Every structure is written in structure tokens, then in C-alpha cells.
């Protein structure tokens, strides 16, 4: 069984006064498994309902939202279900398939005798269903998003001790070089992570067989399974249906990503999406990929100033896979071997850049970058850290980060900002920035933003 950081978040939720929890995220990231494992270890009774597969389970929420009546209905259809006050977790899996179950969360919350966790892979997907006829329980539910395993989780499951990870984090936060042996070990493991990614089944396959071809097969099967659900929605009768046009557009946008990311300037271009329709129509397909959690967007900025969202150019953006392993599985044969050898230059550094994007997205960061209309300077990422726009440059090797240096040396034009270069090297310093290993972002825990490089005086020679 994989060790997941979500367990600590679930324990924190249980340990304080709380509302029902809605856990969202991309399919096959381990939501159901993690919640059931948490329930079995923290409650005397776990009641599990699959709202996608079971009509009887959905029927339990079609009447009055009286908790005793809902319990009666659930126990009538689930023979081994038992509800014991203050010692029962009710798991509502695929809650997006039953609007009434989502609406009922308010009444489970007000009753207070039973804990409820709902999971869903299509929550927030535009057009998945008709508006909730009985309302969404605003103020009566909490939210978490589950992502693929980050690098710290991957390292833990690959056998790296907590002591080593703690030491590495402390060194990174202090901006001090790691011991060479520790750094070399993490670098090697990070290259494996670039290939395998964080989808649980892919990680389990690596642990079981250490066979990267088997991992690649699993990744492609995961993507095929996710694609099977493209365009799915619930019609007005509550029945499964498929929007075939949306499905085709989403598939075409997904298929275009390797080519989009292989360009020198990785701006997403609808002209490279091989499907009928104009750009706004194709945009529906891309937005669908964003909504289900398969990809993330990074927007170009007019200038580097707060708030960053106010400076974004809405129609100019890059698109990255939420899981870099899934991206690598779509690239040409031989890419994995080159990555293991330390060559991340394939597809013009797209793999290294995608990994930074996925790490930032897992930390719930909005992604931005800067690409001047003239083509220079070009900064890989600009994100908000500790309330300040922070420049992040990621290098496949240990390049000079020319654009970042130029921006730092021209504060009158671009402002003065903390800056970090992520590269295949140990911790170091440059003029106005700090250099960190490529794996650094994946090791930090939530809130550990003391990593930001302090603003320093920069020579303008």
C-alpha cells in the first residue's frame, strides 16, 4: 500500500470541528483507496456507497433529507452497513453522479452524528449535469484536491527514509548545499520520477517489477481509461450520456500536446489541434481537460507585478500535463532512456518544464510566465510566493538562465523580484538569485515558502 500525504490532511480534518469533506481530483489518483484506508484505520464503521455504479445508492437521497430516513434507506440496500454515532464514516464515491447526495451534505453536517467524505472526478466539469435542483450546500462542506504523488511521496515509497527527506528539506530551506551522496541519490531518483510520474498504479508497477516498459503500458492504459470518460455527463433524466463533439475536441487537444511542447516557444496553438471547429470551439475541448484535472495552464504576463492574475494575457498560454509521467509515456521511444542518463533536453526541455508546472500545480499555485512579444526575455514561470511575484527558471542541465539574469539586471523596467534557478546541480547562488536542484520543489511541504531567494543588490555593470 502506498504511503500518501493526503492521510495527514484527513487526520487533521478529523481531529478538529469539521464539515463533510469533498475530495476532488483527476481519476485514478487514489482518492477512493486513500479515503477507504483512512476510514478503516480511524473509524469503527465505514459505509461505502458507489454513486456511479449503484442506482439503489442514489435512491437513498431522492426523498427527504432526514438523516434517520437516509440511514434507513442505505442500510436497506447495503446489508453490512452499520451507523454508530460518532464512530462512523460515510463515503460517497463519485458524488457528481448524484446531485441529491451532494445536496444532502448540509443535513449530515447539521445532524453531526456521522462523518462524511465525498469523492468526485468530475466535480466542476462544466456541463456534466443540469444545475443542482436542490442546491449545493455552501458553508456546509469543505474541499480538498488530490493530486498524483509528488516527488516527496515517490521518494518515501521508494524507500528513502524520513530522516533523509527531512535533512534535504532543511538544507534547501537554508539554501545550503546537500551532502554530495544525498544529492546524487535524489538526482537519480528524480530522473526515475520524471519517467514514472505519480499515478499510483504506475508507481506500484515500478515497485513490483522495476520494469519501465510495464510502467509505460500502465500509463497508456490509464490515459485510455481517462479518455473513455471524455464528454460523459448526466442528462436531465439522470442517465449517462456522451457529448461526442466535446469528446472529439478534448481528445484532439490532448493528442496535440507533445507537438505543442516540442516548440521553442511552447504557447498552445489551436491551429495544431487536428479537429474541425474554430478556436473558441476547440477551446471547449481544452477547458474540459483542465476541468477534469488532466492538464494545467500557465498564462503569459503583460508585466511582472501584483496581482499576477490581473496581468495575464487570457488568450496566450502554455498547457502542461498534471502528471509528467503521462507526458513522457506519449513521447517517442527512447526518451525514457535519455532521461535516465541525465539528458533532459528532449523536446526542448519540455519534460523539465512540465515537472516544475506539475509541482507548482500540486501546491495549488496559479501558473504564469513571461514571454515578451519580441521573444526576449522569456521567463519559464512567475508565481506568487509569500505575496511576491517570484521568478522560476528551470534548466534541463545547468544553463545560464540568460533571460532571468537580464530581467534581474534591469529592475527599472521589470521591477525587483526574488528569483530561483532550478537545474541539475546542487544548491548555489548567482547574482540576485539562488540555484536549487531540479527536485527541490517536489520535496517541500505545504507552506514551506521560506525557500524564496532574498532580494539582493544587483550590479548594473
Indicate the burial class of 162 (C-beta count within 10 angstroms; 0-12, 13-18, 19 or more): exposed
Instruction: Give CA–CA dist 410/416, Å, rounded.
Output: 8
Instruction: Give CA–CA dist 300/4, Å, rounded.
Output: 33
Of the candidates 264, 256, 267, which has an alpha carbon nearest to the alpha carbon of residue 289? 256
Instruction: Give CA–CA dist 384/367, Å, rounded.
Output: 9
452 pLDDT above the threshold of 80: no
Is 170 found in the same domain as 130?
no
370 pLDDT above the threshold of 70: yes
Of the candidates 326, 344, 335, which has an alpha carbon nearest to the alpha carbon of residue 198? 326
State mean pLDDT over 334-348: 87
Our count of domains for the chain comes to 2
> Does some domain include residue 29?
yes
Is 190 found in the same domain as 58?
no
Cα distances (Å, whole numbers) of residue 461 to 238, 351, 402, 457: 68, 35, 15, 12
> Does some domain include residue 102?
yes
Handedness of CA 206, 208, 213, 216 (dihedral sign): negative
459 pLDDT above the threshold of 60: no
> Does some domain include residue 452?
no
Q: How much is the pLDDT for 379? A: 96
What's the CATH code of the domain at 92?
Answer: 3.40.50.300
Instruction: Give CA–CA dist 94/52, Å, rounded.
Output: 6
State mean pLDDT over 177-189: 97
Average pLDDT score over the chain: 92
Is 181 found in the same domain as 46?
no
> Does some domain include residue 263?
no
Q: How much is the pLDDT for 238? A: 73
Is 201 found in the same domain as 56?
no
> Does some domain include residue 275?
no
Handedness of CA 201, 202, 203, 206 (dihedral sign): positive
State mean pLDDT over 161-186: 96
Is 166 found in the same domain as 141?
no
Question: What is the domain range of residue 109?
Answer: 6-145
Q: How much is the pLDDT for 393? A: 94
Instruction: Report angle CA 201, 336, 292 to the nearest 5 degrees.
Output: 45
**Model pLDDT for residues 80-137, shown as the tens digit of each residue:** 999 999 999 999 999 999 999 999 999 999 999 999 999 999 887 877 766 676 777 8
**Terminal CA-CA length for the chain:** 56
How much of the chain exceeds pLDDT 90, in percent? Answer: 82
**Model pLDDT for residues 37-70, shown as the tens digit of each residue:** 999 999 999 999 999 999 999 999 999 999 999 9
Is 208 found in the same domain as 320?
yes
Q: How much is the pLDDT for 461? A: 38
> Does some domain include residue 271?
no
Instruction: Give CA–CA dist 127/118, Å, rounded.
Output: 20
Is 297 found in the same domain as 164?
yes
Sheet harboring 21-24: ordered strands across?
45-50, 88-93, 115-120, 21-24, 142-145
Instruction: Give CA–CA dist 305/414, Å, rounded.
Output: 9
398 pLDDT above the threshold of 80: no
Is 62 found in the same domain as 80?
yes
3-state SS, residue 297: strand
Is 156 found in the same domain as 137?
no
455 pLDDT above the threshold of 80: no
Indicate the burial class of 382 (C-beta count within 10 angstroms; 0-12, 13-18, 19 or more): buried
> Does some domain include residue 358?
yes
Is 195 found in the same domain as 58?
no
Is 371 found in the same domain as 222?
yes
Of the candidates 49, 41, 50, which has an alpha carbon nearest to the alpha carbon of residue 87? 41
Is 157 found in the same domain as 139?
no
State mean pLDDT over 193-202: 98
Q: Which residues share a beta bridge with 120? A: 24
Q: How much is the pLDDT for 431? A: 83
Q: How much is the pLDDT for 458? A: 46
Instruction: Give CA–CA dist 97/62, Å, rounded.
Output: 13
Q: pLDDT band for 447, please (50, 70, 90 cuts).
A: low
Instruction: Give CA–CA dist 258/320, Å, rounded.
Output: 10
404 pLDDT above the threshold of 60: yes
256 pLDDT above the threshold of 80: yes
429 pLDDT above the threshold of 60: yes
> Does some domain include residue 451?
no
Q: How much is the pLDDT for 299? A: 98
Instruction: Give CA–CA dist 445/396, Å, rounded.
Output: 24
State mean pLDDT over 427-441: 91
Amino acid at each position: 500500500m502506498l504511503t500518501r500525504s493526503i492521510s495527514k490532511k484527513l487526520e487533521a480534518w478529523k481531529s478538529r470541528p469539521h464539515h463533510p469533506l469533498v475530495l476532488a481530483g483527476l481519476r485514478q489518483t487514489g482518492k477512493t483507496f486513500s479515503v477507504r484506508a483512512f476510514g478503516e484505520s480511524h473509524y469503527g464503521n465505514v459505509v461505502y456507497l458507489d454513486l456511479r455504479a449503484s442506482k439503489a445508492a442514489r435512491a437513498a437521497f431522492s426523498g427527504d433529507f432526514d438523516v434517520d430516513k437516509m440511514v434507513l434507506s442505505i442500510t436497506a440496500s447495503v446489508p453490512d452497513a452499520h451507523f454508530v454515532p460518532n464512530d462512523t464514516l460515510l463515503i460517497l464515491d463519485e458524488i457528481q453522479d448524484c446531485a441529491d447526495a451532494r445536496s444532502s451534505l448540509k443535513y449530515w453536517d447539521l445532524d453531526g452524528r456521522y462523518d462524511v467524505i465525498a469523492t468526485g472526478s468530475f466535480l466542476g466539469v462544466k456541463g456534466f449535469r443540469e444545475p443542482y435542483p436542490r442546491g449545493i450546500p455552501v458553508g456546509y462542506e469543505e474541499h480538498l484536491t488530490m493530486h498524483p504523488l509528488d516527488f516527496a511521496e515517490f521518494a518515501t515509497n521508494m524507500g528513502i527514509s524520513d530522516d533523509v527527506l527531512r535533512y534535504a528539506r532543511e538544507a534547501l530551506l537554508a539554501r545550503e548545499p546537500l551532502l554530495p551522496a544525498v544529492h546524487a541519490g535524489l538526482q537519480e531518483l528524480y530522473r526515475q520520477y520524471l519517467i514514472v510520474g505519480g499515478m499510483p498504479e504506475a508507481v506500484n508497477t515500478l515497485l513490483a517489477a522495476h520494469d519501465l516498459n510495464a510502467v509505460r503500458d500502465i500509463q497508456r492504459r490509464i490515459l485510455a481509461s481517462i479518455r473513455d470518460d471524455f464528454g460523459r455527463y448526466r442528462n436531465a433524466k439522470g442517465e449517462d450520456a456522451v457529448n461526442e463533439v466535446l469528446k472529439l475536441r478534448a481528445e484532439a487537444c490532448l493528442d496535440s500536446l507533445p507537438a505543442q511542447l516540442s516548440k521553442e516557444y511552447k504557447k498552445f496553438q489551436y491551429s495544431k489541434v487536428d479537429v474541425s471547429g474554430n478556436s473558441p470551439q476547440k477551446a471547449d475541448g481544452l477547458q474540459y481537460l483542465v476541468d477534469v484535472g488532466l492538464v494545467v495552464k500557465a498564462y503569459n504576463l503583460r508585466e511582472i507585478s501584483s496581482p499576477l492574475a490581473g496581468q495575464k494575457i487570457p488568450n496566450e498560454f502554455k498547457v502542461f500535463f498534471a502528471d509528467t509521467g503521462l507526458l513522457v509515456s506519449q513521447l517517442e521511444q527512447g526518451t525514457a532512456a535519455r532521461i535516465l542518463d541525465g539528458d533532459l533536453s528532449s523536446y526542448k526541455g519540455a519534460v523539465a518544464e512540465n515537472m516544475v508546472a506539475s509541482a507548482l500545480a500540486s501546491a495549488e499555485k496559479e501558473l504564469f510566465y513571461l514571454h515578451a512579444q519580441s521573444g526576449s526575455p522569456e521567463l519559464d514561470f512567475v508565481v506568487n510566493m509569500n505575496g511576491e511575484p517570484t521568478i522560476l527558471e528551470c534548466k534541463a542541465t545547468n544553463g545560464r538562465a540568460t533571460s532571468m539574469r537580464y530581467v534581474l539586471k534591469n529592475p527599472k523596467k521589470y521591477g525587483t523580484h526574488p528569483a530561483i534557478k532550478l537545474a541539475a546541480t546542487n544548491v548555489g547562488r548567482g547574482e540576485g538569485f539562488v540555484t536549487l536542484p531540479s527536485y527541490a520543489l517536489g520535496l517541500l511541504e505545504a507552506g514551506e515558502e521560506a525557500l524564496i531567494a532574498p532580494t539582493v543588490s544587483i550590479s548594473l555593470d
